[in-house]
Amino acid sequence: MTKPLKLKFTGVAHGGEALGRMDDRVIFVGHALPGETALVEIVEQHKRWARGRLLEVLEPSPYRVEPSCVYFGPNGCGGCQWQHIHRQAQLDYKARIVRDQLRRVGGISKPVVRETITGPADWAYRTQALFYPSGQGSLGLPKSHTRDIVAIDHCPLLHPDLDDLYKSFNVEWDGLRSVDLSMGLSSGLRLVTMRTHGDQVPEIEVDIPVSIALETRSGAIQPLIGDPWYFETIRGHDYRFSAGARRPSSPQAAEAVLNAVISYLEPGPGRVMADVYCGQGLYALGLADQLSLIIGIEENAIAIEDCAFNCSHLDNVALHEGPPPVVLRALRDPIDLAVITPPAQGMGHRVAQNLARLGARRVVYVAHNPATLARDLAEMKRAGFRLRETAAVDVAPQTYYVTAVALFTR
């Protein structure tokens, strides 16, 4: 065990940890706040940085509050990182994280980042969550920076209806790898998606209305009970969300992001938009009544099948299934606007150049990880796009997760 270190924290890192410096190394420490001084034990060392464990807060921040969950803390569940931080400070830190990523990784000296837009309520907002067997006959969540699973009997972030489903799930079976629980608030439909060792199909007994599906290692979805999807209403539009494709953590979070996209995009009659990595059609369906044509592009077969279902009543949405870099390269018809929601690894080869070739004058980039946006800035600049402004959207209170919605113009 190393000797405790007295450390002054000066900032907050993407990942939710407070950071300080020791000699020429950055020290990341969870459950601390900028402005605090604390005793820290170094638990992980690298050449340029280290990670510490909080031992004692010597000078607390005025923004420190008492966590409301018994599982929160350095030795507890890692599902939340910021329960100890006042709500307004959480919003300020999320804007700071986006600004810092654009400056440090993206190379922009003075990025324009709006005040953080609030999304869901502070608590009991999640309608989708992923859990793991704890080995104690119950589900749980990983401890921060480890593979250890902390068994929990209640999560204050879960919507009460999803919490009821969580409490009713019996995991007395060694073959389970993970359990994805999700539901539609508007429809009341509930979906359990299991992943198992060797894609084993468990014996299932249910006494509540719920659909259950098995997701295999290949990504295929095998329905076990009911249909492998649920329905949700977002900004007045009905969406189908299926197992095997990314789903919003809450409808309020999705609506907040959609509102930010619409405010930046400035849609209008006669305009054509490309929806790149369109998923289940959050933007395609949400904007269809404000545009003449929407071209949706998605490589996840399950997601684009949902999108086709969600937009089946529309005659101004054209969908293309395939890798967006490949599909965009083959398109010839001009566009005016574009929305791009890339995966964590970024846009892909020459996506920005092809958006420029097709004539896009206004592009809204939605990054669920601000670092993804920051890394793609150079590609957007080479294609002739300029970053005008970025909005930070708080999609998950009590955590560090933030969605960056960025406006680019030619």
Greatest Cα pair distance in the chain: 67
Three-state DSSP class for 391?
strand
User: Model-level pTM greater than 0.85?
Assistant: yes
pLDDT 10s per residue in the chain (410 long)?
Answer: 578 999 999 999 999 999 999 888 999 999 999 999 999 999 999 989 999 999 999 999 999 999 999 999 888 899 999 999 999 999 999 999 999 999 999 999 999 999 999 999 999 999 999 999 998 888 999 988 788 999 999 999 999 999 999 998 877 788 999 999 999 999 999 999 999 999 999 888 888 899 999 999 999 999 999 999 999 999 999 999 999 999 999 999 999 999 999 999 999 999 999 999 999 999 999 999 999 999 999 999 999 999 999 999 999 999 999 999 999 999 999 999 999 999 999 999 999 999 999 999 999 999 999 999 999 999 999 999 999 999 999 999 999 999 999 999 99
Taking only the tens place, the pLDDT of each residue in 299-353 is 999 999 999 999 999 999 999 999 999 999 999 999 999 999 999 999 999 999 9
DSSP letter for each residue of 111-171: --EEEEEE-S-SSS-BSEEEEEE-SSSSEEEEBTTSSPEEE-S--TTB-HHHHHHHHH---
- Residue boundaries of the structural domains of the chain: 5-64, 103-119+249-409, 128-232
Sort 262 into a burial class: Cβ within 10 Å, 0-12 / 13-18 / 19+: middle
User: Residues near 332 by Cβ (< 8 Å), separated by ≥ 6?
Assistant: none
User: What are the pLDDT digits (tens) for 219-257?
Assistant: 999 999 999 999 999 999 999 999 999 999 999 999 999
Topology alike, domains 5-64 and 128-232: yes
Q: What does the alpha-carbon distance between residue 360 and residue 352 come to, in Å, rounded to a whole number?
A: 10
CA distances to 91, 316, 394 from 115, in Å: 8, 34, 10
Best CATH choice for the domain 128-232 from the list 2.40.50.1070, 3.40.50.720, 2.40.128.20, 3.10.20.30: 2.40.50.1070
Topology (CATH level 3) of domain 103-119+249-409: Rossmann fold (3.40.50)
Q: How far are the Cα atoms of 16, 268, 354, 379, 383 from residue 350, in angstroms, in the given order? A: 32, 27, 6, 8, 9
Distance (Å, whole) CA 249 – CA 128: 5
- Neighbouring residues of 361: CB distance < 8 A, sequence distance ≥ 6: 336, 337, 409, 410
How distant, in Å, are the alpha carbons of 17, 49, 86, 404 from that of 369? 16, 21, 22, 7
The C-alpha atoms of residue 148 and residue 132 are separated, in whole angstroms, by 10
Which among 127, 132, 116 has a CA at the least distance from the CA of 159? 127
> For helices 370-382 and 87-104, what crossing angle results, to 10°?
30
Phi, psi of 294 (to 5 degrees): -125, 130
Between CA 377 and CA 375 the distance in angstroms is: 6
Q: What is the fold of 5-64? A: OB fold (Dihydrolipoamide Acetyltransferase, E2P) (2.40.50)
- Please give the structure tokens belonging to residue 183: 């539901």
Could you give the CA distance from residue 215 to residue 396 in angstroms, rounded to a whole number? 25
Q: Which residues contact 73 (CB under 8 A, 6 or more apart)?
A: 31, 67
- In three-state form (DSSP H/G/I as H, E/B as E, the rest C), the secondary structure along 198-263 is HHCCCCCCCCCCCEEEEECCCCCEEEEECCCEEEEEECCEEEEEECCCCCCCCHHHHHHHHHHHHH
**Rounded-to-5 percentages of helix, strand, coil across the chain:** 20, 35, 45
Reduced to 3 states, what is the DSSP secondary structure of residue 26?
strand
pLDDT of residue 1: 56
Q: What is the pLDDT of residues 396-408, one digit of tens each?
A: 999 999 999 999 9
Retrieve residue 15's tokens: 């990942």
The residue type at 271: R
